[in-house]
Amino acid sequence: MTAEPTATSTPSSPSPSPSVSPSPSAEVALASEPCPGTDRNPGAPPGRQLAGSSTNWSGYVSAVKETGVTCVEGSWIEPDVVCPSTGHQAVAVWIGIDGFSAKVLGIPSTNVLVQIGTQIDCDNGEPRHGAWKEVLPAEMREERISGVVHAGDHLSARISYAAAEFTIAIFDADTNLDYTITQAAPGAPRKSAEWIVEAPAVNCPSSCSPVAMPKFTTVRFTGAYVTIAGQRAAIDDASWSNVKLKMVRNNIIRDTTSSLIDDGSSFSVSWRHR
């Protein structure tokens, strides 16, 4: 699942939220310990925020030019969808490290992306939920994770880096899906952490193109923290920059990303395109 988000230094204006079914706001219990690190700047004002756009990503990115990301975590409630009666549509929710670039932040393009999350596929009117992970460029399509995921389930995920390897984990508190794997991603620059709702791409790597997204209930990320240079803090910490991404394709805004709340560790993505 790849994208080429762009970022500018002009702050984005909030977009009106569409009228969709509300998602629950309960916090998600983590199956594992939170990311390591200590917030060295408690109470500091938010860091620099930029506006960005992508053809298939929406959400937030924390980005750093120096040092590197060593952990990212986040929780969400699996959205419900309205599937069309025919054809294929899909929407994915995930956290990740790398895969993002922004000239204005001095972060070059990379083909490395480590990610884990859930995906809902609509095929001829029927939704299918599942968990997956992907480490690019070694894996050119997502690897499905064995286990059950339902709409309304409480999910949490975590990716940590140590000794040149990534430990990738996801947990479903309602079905007890509990998955962890450790693997290498050679050449990972570790310059960004992501919390993303995506229109998955097909026909990769030759001609990646995003599929249409079904109408989905609002996705709320909570407990969104990143560890950079030993400091564990929220998306908008003053020690790094953050980018608010909206999904724009064929000049149509496909969904909307809210402002950050809860000291910068929570936000929502709502379906918009009709």
- Domains present along the chain, CATH in parentheses: 61-240 (2.60.120.700)
- pLDDT interval class at 5 (50, 70, 90): low
Average the pLDDT over 182-186 and give the result.
97
User: What is the pLDDT, as a whole number, of residue 3?
Assistant: 46
pLDDT number for residue 257: 98
Please state, in angstroms and rounded to a whole number, the distance separating the CA atoms of residues 219 and 196: 10
pLDDT > 90? residue 30? no
pLDDT > 70 fraction of the chain, expressed in percent and rounded: 88
At residue 69, the pLDDT reads 98
What pLDDT, on a 0 to 100 scale, did the predictor assign at position 94?
98
Q: What is the pLDDT of residues 247-258, one digit of tens each?
A: 999 999 999 999
Q: Are 207 and 201 in contact (CB under 8 A)?
A: no
Instruction: State the chain's mean pLDDT as an integer.
Output: 88
The pLDDT confidence band at residue 135, using thresholds 50, 70 and 90, is very high
Give me the phi and psi of 103, to 5 degrees please: -60, -40
pLDDT at 274: 60
**The pLDDT of residue 39 is above 70:** yes
The model's confidence at residue 42, banded by pLDDT at 50, 70 and 90, is confident
